[in-house]
Amino acid sequence: QARDDATSAAVSAILDSLEEIQCLTDCTERDRELLQSVFEDDTLHSLLELYDHINSRSLSSSA
């Protein structure tokens, strides 16, 4: 599904930019670890999949 792919690509892009995020924000080492653990978390990935699934369903049923 295209929507799921776009969201997981977005999460990968964030994980790839962690160092830059740390440089550009007032983010501590601990914040950086938090971002990494949040975006690498399997549960988060499941929630995002579920989000995309529900969101695309409600869009298609209202169309």
How many helices and strands, by DSSP H and E, does the chain display? 4, 0
Q: Which of 18, 23, 22 is nearest to 37 (CA)?
A: 18
Of 30 and 63, CB closest to other proteins: 30
Q: Which of 41, 62, 57 is nearest to 4 (CA)?
A: 57
The binding site for other proteins (CB under 8 A) comprises 6-7, 9-11, 13-14, 17, 20-21, 24-27, 31, 34-35, 37-39, 41-44, 47-48, 50-51, 54-55
Of 27 and 63, CB closest to other proteins: 27
At 32, the amino acid letter reads R
Of 1 and 44, CB closest to other proteins: 44
